[in-house]
Amino acid sequence: MDYRKTIRLYYDYVINCYTRVPLVLERGKGTRVWDAQGVEYLDFFPGWAVSGIGHCHRRVVEAIKRQAEELLHVSNNYYHESQGLLAEKIIHHSFPGKVFFCNSGAEANEAAFKLVRKIGNPSRNEIITMDRSFHGRTLAAVTATGQKKYQEGFEPLPGGFVNVPFNDFEALERAVTPKTIAIMMEPIQGEGGVRVADHPYMASVRRLCHDKKIILILDEVQTGMGRTGRMFCYKNFGIEPDVMTLAKSLGGGFPIGAMVAKKEIADVLTPGTHATTFGGSPLACAASLATFEAIEKEKLINNAVIAGSYLFKRLNELKRQHVIVKEVRGLGLMAGLELTIEGKNIYEECLKRKLLINCTQGNVLRLMPALVVKEKEIDRAVQILDEVFSLEKEIVLTKERGKAA
Ligand SMILES: *Cc1c(COP(=O)(O)O)cnc(C)c1O
């Protein structure tokens, strides 16, 4: 079908709640995707980190095919092998606890909200979250999300959420009351502009939660599954959360979410208190188990560390060469470049040069290549960015000359 026909169908029949570029994608493999005309793109933002181990990873595709021949779905009133195995796998890589399976990041966070409310009910029902955070698009998740633009127009919002500035321990301490049941944050704010939690801050938050019997929820929907050079980002900080939420790359491209809770609190959710029809289906669990297998057997976390340090070395070179790059931030293969100018144009120029990236908060370019990325692909991406930054410098200079004349 003509790609223009595809776009037309969206225009006529798909609710228009996304900003889309006119690019119809047809195929993907590793760090590459191809459009309907067969043009190849280097993907440094694979599905907002969903395709974390690369597009159509062989192990994931095989596992899905195999499982699809056996059983697609069973209700959670029965057992099936792969859900148990996947829960065991997640716990093996995190902390002693139990897992609730769902289908997305927002749902994983909803499960966390319900868990902590059930624990605190009725007297302790407040959850503190961070400014510029992002936790998903359900009503409770947008309320937890510390950004007005995601909330406006959807009032009344559910109560019981308090926002405080990120990386500001005093502000957090001040916000804690006897009603506080949980503190929730991303170890690195993704949508918030790739802002990494400070080490001492994280340690203080952990201590505070321990002392005041507050539940620490870490949203690892974006930072999990090896992205930051450890299986889960919190491991970089030498602390452990009480609850962790996962989704995005958990299924290697297949939708699956999970809420992981420490043993002592997990059993608060008893039969009938929480559920989701599709959660932890055989197909989703098979895809996720294959994702873990790929990460383990192909030493992808090791690659995230090595390729990540190379990526940051090259990005810091770019910063030295281009004054429009104000700061390079991130960890592992999660990188943000804060610019002194709007990033929209840069994004578009990269797209023209067949490099897919993201721009968040207006002026932060975000790069999150798949864990399988190679040095020469990083070189290619950096070369394109270099070209585009130079072009941008020309535009700025021309404008200034125009003003001066
Ligand atoms: C993407 C994201 C979510 C929401 O996940 P969905 O699957 O879109 O519901 C939640 N938290 C963080 C940190 C995210 O990056």
pLDDT tens-place string over residues 168-220: 999 999 999 999 999 999 999 999 999 999 999 999 999 999 999 999 999 99
Q: Which atom of ligand 1 is nearest to the CA of 255?
A: 7
CB 182 within 8 A of CB 325: no
Q: Identify the pLDDT of residue 405.
A: 63
Q: Identify the pLDDT of residue 9.
A: 97
- Rounded to the nearest angstrom, the distance between the alpha carbon of 133 and the centre of ligand 1 is 10
Residue among 102, 222, 246 whose CB has most ligand 1 atoms within 8 A, to mutate: 222
- Looking at residues 18-38, what average pLDDT do you find? 96
Which domains does the chain show, CATH number per domain? 20-49+299-404 (3.90.1150.10), 58-297 (3.40.640.10)
Q: Identify the pLDDT of residue 394.
A: 79
Residues with CB under 6 A from ligand 1: 104-106, 134-136, 186, 190, 219, 221-222, 247-248
- Rounded to the nearest angstrom, the distance between the alpha carbon of 248 and the centre of ligand 1 is 7
Q: Identify the pLDDT of residue 286.
A: 98
Average pLDDT, the chain: 97
Render pLDDT for 301-341 as a digit per residue (tens, 0 to 9): 999 999 999 999 999 999 999 999 999 999 999 999 999 99
Q: Identify the pLDDT of residue 142.
A: 98
Q: Which atom of ligand 1 is nearest to the CA of 133?
A: 13
Please give the C-alpha separations between residue 88 and each of 171, 227, 229, 244, 274, in angstroms, as whole numbers. 37, 21, 21, 15, 20
Q: Which two tokens mark 295?
A: 């990460």
Render pLDDT for 231-257 as a digit per residue (tens, 0 to 9): 999 999 999 999 999 999 999 999 999
- Rounded to the nearest angstrom, the distance between the alpha carbon of 134 and the centre of ligand 1 is 7
Q: Identify the pLDDT of residue 225.
A: 98
- Rounded to the nearest angstrom, the distance between the alpha carbon of 37 and the centre of ligand 1 is 31
Q: Whose alpha carbon is nearest atom 6 of ligand 1?
A: 105
- Looking at residues 361-381, what average pLDDT do you find? 98
Query: In this model, does residue 396 exceed pLDDT 80?
Result: no
Residues with catalytic function = 134, 219, 248
- Looking at residues 368-391, what average pLDDT do you find? 97
Query: In this model, does residue 404 exceed pLDDT 90?
Result: no
Cis peptide upstream of residue 122 (ω within 30 degrees of 0): yes
